[in-house]
Structure 1
Amino acid sequence: MSGLAARSAEPTIPRPSRTIALVGLMGVGKSTVGRRLAQRMDLPFVDGDESIEAAARMTVSDIFSQLGEAEFRAGEARVMRRLLDGPPIVLATGGGAVLNSGTRDLMKERATTVWLRAELPIVAARVQRRDTRPLLRGKDPLTALSAMAEVRYPIYAEVADVTVDVGSGAHAQAVEAILEALMAHWAGGGAA
C-alpha cells in the first residue's frame, strides 16, 4: 500500500476548537507523544516547559535552583494562562501544572484535557535516563514518582476529559490511543 493510500485510510480527525492539553507525571511521554499527536491533528505543538524556559530565559533546572519551586510554579501558571488563552494547540504541560487551581479552571474551560497514565516502574525507568529533572535530584525515582502520584493522580482524574493508559509500547500506539479516546469523547458530546 502506498503512503498516499495508507494516509487516506486513516479516519478523518476533526479540527478541534479547543487546545488538547496533555497532563501526567514527568516521563510519561507528554512531549514526545504530543509532537506526534500535533502532527496527526495538523495543530501546532507547544511544550510547556520549553515555553517557561523561553519566558524566563533560564532552564527549568536553573529556575528551581536559583529562584525555587514557588517561583517556577508562579511562572508556569502565567505561561499556561497565555497558552490556554491562545488558539488551539497540542500542549504538553509540565507534570505539576495542574497543581495550580487557576490552571485547572482554564483547562476545564478552554481545553480538552488528556491524562497520559503509565505504570510507575515504566516512568521511573524513563526518567532515570536523564538528570534534568529537579524534583528527582538525589532521590530514588520510583519513590519520588510514587509520592507525586499520590498527590497528583486525583487532580489529573479531576481535570481530565479522557484518560489514556500508555505503556512501554511505541509512541505511535499512544497517539492512536489518544485519537481514539478523543473521537469517542467528541462523539459522546464532549466539546471539540
Structure 2
Amino acid sequence: MESPSIVRILTVCTGNICRSPVAERALQAGLDAVRAGTFQVQSAGTYAMTGSPIHLPCARIIETYGGRSGGFAARQLTPGMLRGTDLILTMTSTHRSEVVRMDPSVLKRAFTIREFARMLTVLEERDSRPAPETDLVGWWRTLPARAAGVRHLALASDAADNDVADPYGLAPEAYQRMEDELAPAVLAIVRFAHRTAPAEV
C-alpha cells in the first residue's frame, strides 16, 4: 500500500519521452534536495510511446539539471493515475483539457507547468510564511487550491506562454526551445519549495 505521507505529482505530455520526463526527473531531483522522501514525481503521456526510454537529447537535459535519465519507460495516461495525485502539471493547455476530460474531478489541481510556476511567484509575493513544520505534505496538498485562487493575477500575456513546445523529431534548436520554456518553470517550483519548506530539526 502506498504511503499517504507523500506529495504525488504527475507531469503529462503527449508521447512521454521528451517534455514530461524532463519535468519529472528534474523536479524530482530538485524536490529531493528540499525534503527527501516527501515528493514523488511521475509522468505519463496522452498518446504515449509506451515502454520507450527518454529521448536521448532530453536525457542529456535531465542530467544537466541533476536528474537521472535511466530506468524510464514511457506510460500511457490512465484515469487511475489521476486518482490520488495531488498535483498535475501538463506541458500544454491542450494536455490539461485532455486530463480534465478524462477525470473532471482533477480540474482544480491540474495546471500547465508554466502557469503553475507563475502562480507560485504570486503566492510567494503575497504570503511569505513557510509551511508548518508538522505537516509539509498537507500544506502541499492545499497548494493547488491556493494557486488557483491567484490565477487571475498570473495570466499570460500570450496563451502560448502557458505551453512547452514539443521538440520531438525536430532540429536541435527545438530541444533548446523546450529547455528554455520548461527549465524556468521547474526551477521556480523548486525554488518555491526551498523557500517555504520548514527548517528540519
Q: Which has the higher contact order (CA 8 A, sep 6+)?
A: 1
Q: Identify the TM-score tier after normalising by the shorter chain.
A: 0.3 to 0.5
Length-normalised TM-score, structure 1? 0.34
Compare CA radii of gyration and give the structure with the larger one.
1
Length-normalised TM-score, structure 2? 0.33
